[in-house]
Amino acid sequence: MPATYDDHPVFSVSELAREARLIIEERFNSIWVEGEISNFRRPGSGHWYFTLKDADAQIRCAMFGSRNRAVRFAPADGTQVVVRGRVSLYEPRGDFQIIAEHMEQAGEGALRAAFEALKAKLADEGLFAEERKQPMPDQPGHLVIISSASGAALHDVLNVIQRRFPVMAVTLLPVSVQGAEAEQQILAALAKAPMFDPDIVLLTRGGGSLEDLWTFNLESVARAVAACPVPTVVAVGHQTDFTIAEFAADLRASTPSAAAELISPDAHELYAYVAQLQERLVRDLLGEMRLRGEIVQRYRAQLIDPRQRVAQSMQRADDLEERLRLALRHTLEHAHTRMSGLARSLRAFRPEPLIRRHQRRLQETGTALARTMRRRLSKRHEKLLSGARTLNAVSPLYTLQRGYAVLTDGADGGAGAPITSISATRAGATLTAHLRDGSLRLNVEATNSDTGFIEAADVESPG
């Protein structure tokens, strides 16, 4: 806690520096800063100390050895870089500084984004799929190298091949591996390489920054590598360097030397293998000769007088003839027995009895059906007659036949309401009387409820 003076907190210098550092580190925990390197120092501890500046300001930076080992280029004064880190305060001097955790050359972030976008695009097309990659030959006799003629990568490859497999022929197609002319020269070399009838094509160069290696991240170069009809190996830079061309190649090597190790068989191992094969061949030949000698001796012991062999052959021929005759007789007898059995089975399964049986069943079924139909028709006829008699018994027409009439109101002769009671009409009303053979229109003169009679006059037939 700071002391107080006139009720105001009083900080010591170290307390103020510590509080300022905590506030700064909490506020700027992870930031990206772009600027130009100046006053770059690399003491024996392996840490880097430098200043980042622009036209108007500068800030001290420190990058410790555990972090700067991952930087893929050599920073120097004047290099334009992008640094990711946290802002802090160096308390002993009160210096405002950046503790850098990552550094890349300015513009490398855009290149890295383009790299990832092209990598994803070609991967989606299947250009990197393992099933399309060609296998490497076990003992290549001719290697075409596409590389810079003055680069260390070519020197490393040739040294490894000379040490491991000096009998392999090597053809160099010199190209620029970076710069404006590199793309076209590499594409031309990849198109020309199959004309030399090589067993393997190696495209290689040494390490460098992402910008230095960018030719090997071009889509045209990656597609040319994938389209090469000869098994192609790509080895670019150091073990941590990856390029699009390496993903498209049939085989990727971490370094040029590692590529040479993968391509060239070990001559000493081949010599030992050949000596082993030679020893095995001699051993097998000697064993085969002994076996053949034993066979010759066995055949020699089996040699007999030709006349005796002829006699034995004639006797064997007679024996075979007799066995053949017996076999034929047995075969014929077996075939005759089987044919007889089949004939009996065929007779047992002749269709005529079955057809006759089904015909009788069909005839019986037809007769039964006709009898059932007649019985049902008779029952239906009787039911119809009974219904007709019942209907006639309740029908008003039957009542009319016996001399009765049905009265309805209205004079139009239509189907008016039936008159069943004197209260349903009155004097002066017009009624219609329905008889057996027609109808009469009646005018009611009076009603008599005691007798239940309706006196009618002006009788007129409507039709």
| Chain segment 291-339, per-residue pLDDT in tens | 888 888 887 777 766 776 777 777 888 888 888 888 988 888 888 888 8
- 461 burial class (0-12, 13-18, 19+ CB within 10 angstroms)? exposed
Phi/psi at 95 (5° precision) = -85, 130
Cα–Cα–Cα angle for 365, 368, 370, nearest 5°? 110
Over 90: is that where the pLDDT of 342 sits? no
Question: Quick check: helix, strand or coil at residue 16?
Answer: helix
DSSP code for 121? H
**pLDDT above 90: residue 116:** no
- Confidence class of residue 71 from pLDDT cuts 50, 70 and 90? confident
- Give the number of C-alpha atoms closer than 13 A to the C-alpha of residue 61, restricted to the C-beta side: 32
Cβ neighbors of 257 (< 8 A, separation 6 or more) are 156, 157, 159, 160
Two structure tokens written together for 394: 């309740």
Residue 138's SS3 state is coil
Q: Pairing between strand 251-252 and 232-236?
A: parallel
Distance CA 166, CA 90 (A): 59
| Residue-level pLDDT at 21 | 66
| pLDDT for residue 175 | 93
207: DSSP letter = -
What does the DSSP assignment read for 292-334?
HHHHHHHHHHH---HHHHHHHHHHHHHHHHHHHHHHHHHHHHH
Average pLDDT value for residue range 195-202: 95
* Averaged pLDDT for residues 142-156: 92
Q: Terminus-to-terminus CA distance in the chain, angstroms?
A: 134
Whole-model pTM: value is 0.44
Tell me the percentage of the chain whose pLDDT exceeds 90.
22
Q: What is the DSSP letter of 76?
A: -
* Alpha-helical runs (H) found in 228-305: 244-248, 256-263, 267-302
- The confidence score (pLDDT) of residue 220 equals 92
Rounded-to-integer distance, Cα 192 and Cα 448, Å: 137
What Cα–Cα distance (Å) separates residue 91 from each residue in 53, 94, 97?
22, 5, 10
> Given CA atoms 196, 198, 200, 202 in this order, what sign does their dihedral have?
negative
pLDDT of residue 346: 74
Query: Could you tell me how far CA 8 lies from the centroid of its own chain?
Result: 73
Percent of the chain with pLDDT over 70: 87
Alpha-carbon distance of 262 to 253, in angstroms, equals 8
